[in-house]
Amino acid sequence: MAGAAIQLTRLLAVFGLAGMLASCDDPYGPAAFLKRYDLEPTSAEQALVEAAATAANSVLVSIDGGWAFEFGGVTSTVPSPVPILLLSNRNLAPNVDVIDVPEGCRCVLIQASAIRKWLDVARDANGYGDPFDETFALAFMLLHEMGHIAEEDYVDREGKPDPDGKLAKQREERADAFAEKALRAALGGSGEAVQVAQSIVANLNVLAFNVYYANALSQGLSELMCLTSTLYWDMGYSHPNLVFRMMTMAGKFVPSPQTAQIVAEFVDCRGKPESYFEILK
């Protein structure tokens, strides 16, 4: 056990987070969270995460609240910066725990191998993907996750039953709204914040179309024509449809007829009742 503690101390020191060990008594502290679930920090994708955190911080200075990330060489003067935990796949689900503000930790969790796989799939987009800068794509994701921190979504939610996922999806929508607010504030400012925000929204637009192609081109004709709900409806209880969310956000910053058409198709199909699809069976 002592050896494991020494190893954890060394790993946290590598990422500039050794100070977390001093806050083990904090019920929402990262150190307690790592220990509770026996999670393992990793150096994989460290350069990418540092660059993305730096970009996100450049945008976050444009809004009130003192929001900032800390990770590795990325530091901040705000009173309580949010640590990023870059983790191996030990005790994490490969297709679920990609990037998240987990319940019980005031932190952002990134599973290195999972985020790498997600970005690679998005870049390929079934052979139709356009290149995008991963730094700014991940920076947008971090802005979304900071929205969860701002809403304190990491606080224990056991007292809030959510059998149909309505509350969970509302949390995602609020986090999206926070990211949008931060980007709009930065775009309306000056200096580095504007330049970084412009890069984020430009890459978000490319990423949104890539994610759309990755999903749409893996479906059949019946899904594309909204004869089934597979493509257009939500894919689970915790998150609204990712393609719909990303295309909607991209359309707000980089409007185009194609984006508007895709969003309209989603709105139309998502508005159909279950009875519509039952009749088509």
Range of the domain at 104: 2-280
Q: pTM of the prediction?
A: 0.86
10 Å Cβ neighbour count for 183?
26
SS (H, E, C) 89-139: CCCCCCCCCCEECCCCCCCEEEEHHHHHHHHHHHHHHHHCCCCCCHHHHHH
Residue among 45, 92, 91 nearest 72 (CA): 45
Q: How many domains does the chain have?
A: 1
> Is 123 within 8 Å of 210 (Cβ atoms)?
yes
- pLDDT tens for the chain, 281 residues long, are 444 444 544 455 445 554 444 444 577 889 989 999 999 999 999 999 999 999 999 999 999 989 999 999 898 889 899 999 999 999 999 888 899 999 899 999 999 999 999 999 999 998 999 999 999 999 999 999 999 999 998 886 555 655 456 778 888 999 999 999 999 999 999 899 999 999 999 999 999 999 999 888 777 777 777 777 777 776 665 577 889 999 999 999 999 999 999 999 989 988 888 787 777 66
Instruction: Say which residues have a Cβ less than 8 Å from residue 175's Cβ, sequence separation at least 6.
Output: 144, 145, 146, 147, 148, 151, 153
Residue among 253, 277, 275, 249 nearest 263 (CA): 249
